Amino acid sequence: MLNIVVLAAGKGTRMHSALPKVLHTIGGQPMLAHVLQAARQLQPDRLIVVVGHDAERVQAEFDSADDVHFVLQHPQQGTGHAVQQAVPQLLDDGAAASKTLVLYGDVPLVQPQTMQALLDSSQEGMAILTEILSDPTGYGRIVRDAQGQIEAIVEHKDANAEQLQIQEVNTGILVAPTGALKDWLSRLRNDNAQQEYYLTDIVGFARHDQLPIYATHPHADWETIGVNSRLQQAQCERAWQLAQAHSLLESGVSLADPARFDLRGELHCGRDVFIDVGCIFEGEVHLGDGVHVGPHSYLRNARLEAGVRINPFTHIDGAQLQEQAQVGPFARLRPGTQLGQGVRIGNFVEVKNSRLDTDAQASHLSYLGDAHIGQRVNIGAGTITCNYDGAHKHLTIIEDDAFIGSDTQLVAPVTVGAGATIGAGTTLTRDAPAQALTLSRAAQETHTQWQRPTKKVTDTESSSE
Which residues are designated catalytic?
364
In the chain the first and final C-alpha atoms are separated, in Å, by 93
* Whole-number CA gyration radius for the chain: 32
* Cα separation, 119 vs 214, whole angstroms: 10
Phi, psi of 101 (to 5 degrees): -105, 130
* Nearest residue to 335 (alpha-carbon basis) of 324, 319, 323, 321: 319
Give the count of beta carbons closer than 10 Å to the beta carbon of residue 59.
Answer: 16
Reduce the DSSP state of residue 104 to 3 states and report it: strand
* Cα separation, 380 vs 114, whole angstroms: 57
CB 91 within 8 A of CB 46: yes
CB 150 within 8 A of CB 203: yes
* Cα separation, 126 vs 188, whole angstroms: 17
Reduce the DSSP state of residue 63 to 3 states and report it: coil
* Cα separation, 245 vs 458, whole angstroms: 67
